[in-house]
Structure formats: structure tokens, C-alpha cells
Amino acid sequence: MQVNFLISVPKKCFKRAVKRNRVKRQVREAYRKNKDIVWKEMEKKTDKKLAMAFIWLSDELAPSSLVEYKMKNLLHRIGESL
């Protein structure tokens, strides 16, 4: 069982690297807290590999609670499609 994920925050959205890094940190933390959602589904299919890419498209920063809520929603949807 192998899960890889990528986080992309375009320079077009945030010109300053500090803001891009903050968003990436928020997304990584939200994934770390909620990765069990996908892992439970992956355990049923032990020979599968999964690659995910998260791309931030908003021009505004979001609070960590909102990022975590959205990540849970995405991981549930990914888990259902497995």
C-alpha cells in the first residue's frame, strides 16, 4: 500500500513565497491529521498505489479549520471512489 501526494500553490495566486509556504503547510497538516480516511480504504486493496495532487486555486488565504474541513471532504470523496 503506497500513497503519494503533491501540493501545488501557483506563484500566480501568491507572489510571496511566505504565503505559498503557509498554504502548503496548512494542506500538509490537514492531510496528516486525516489520512486515515484514505488508508482505511487502501487496506482493503493492499496491492494498489494511489497518487493525489492538491492544487490551491484561490487568491485568498484560508483559516486552518476551513482547510481541514475541505481536506476531510476531499479524502472522503477519494475514499468512496476507490
Q: 19-70, pLDDT tens digit by residue?
A: 999 999 999 999 999 999 888 877 776 677 889 999 999 999 999 999 999 9
Q: Number of structural domains, the chain?
A: 1
Looking at the DSSP assignment, which residues form a beta bridge with residue 3? 50
At residue 46, the pLDDT reads: 64
pTM: 0.87
Burial class for 30, CB neighbours closer than 10 Å (0-12, 13-18, 19+): buried
The residue segments making up the domain with residue 74 are: 2-81
Q: CA quadruple 39, 40, 43, 49: dihedral positive or negative?
A: negative
Bridge partner residues of 55 (DSSP): 8
Where is 4: in which H helix or E strand?
A: strand 2-8
pLDDT at 1: 66
